[in-house]
Amino acid sequence: MSVNESVGGTAGQESPATSGPKMLEDIKPPFIPEGASGMTILVEWPPGNPGTAPHRHSGPCFGYVIEGAVRWELEGEPERVIRAGETFWEPGGDVIHYQNGNALSDTPAKYVVFMLCAPGQPMLTLVEEEELQKRAHLRAPRPSAG
């Protein structure tokens, strides 16, 4: 049975198209670290919060924005805004995650993220300024101001 098929409803209940499981995103990550552990994290940013400084994860991450909007930027991809009800993922490993902060100045942002972490490694490692400069050529062009 697929995730979108009925899981046994009865007469008078909502149809399977409006209730029950719904596929949001189907991703095959490029790698899963051997012996990885999984963790689910709730991230809440107040209005205008820039989020975590540039960092990387030891394994892939998958998420869903619950509330507000998140400014998102991964190495090699243009900056984008992910809104409530939308999903995201990142491959982890060597890829730098530049932005994950609140895109709105007047509304909180909240998202859930599931991460696969390599054993013996931290879930998140900040990237030093020297490495950011060496890899600057891998970052997508920045949006122009104004």
Residues of the chain with pLDDT under 50: 1-14
Q: For residue 24, what pLDDT is reported?
A: 85
Torsion of CA 129, 74, 123, 69, to 10 degrees: 110
Supply the DSSP string of 58-80, one letter for each residue. SS-EEEEEEESEEEEEETTS--E
Q: For residue 86, what pLDDT is reported?
A: 97
C-alpha 27/C-alpha 138 separation (Å) is 23
Q: For residue 17, what pLDDT is reported?
A: 60
Taken in order of first residue, the domains within the chain and their CATH numbers are: 47-111 (2.60.120.10)
Q: For residue 33, what pLDDT is reported?
A: 87
Residues near 50 by Cβ (< 8 Å), separated by ≥ 6?
A: 99, 101, 102
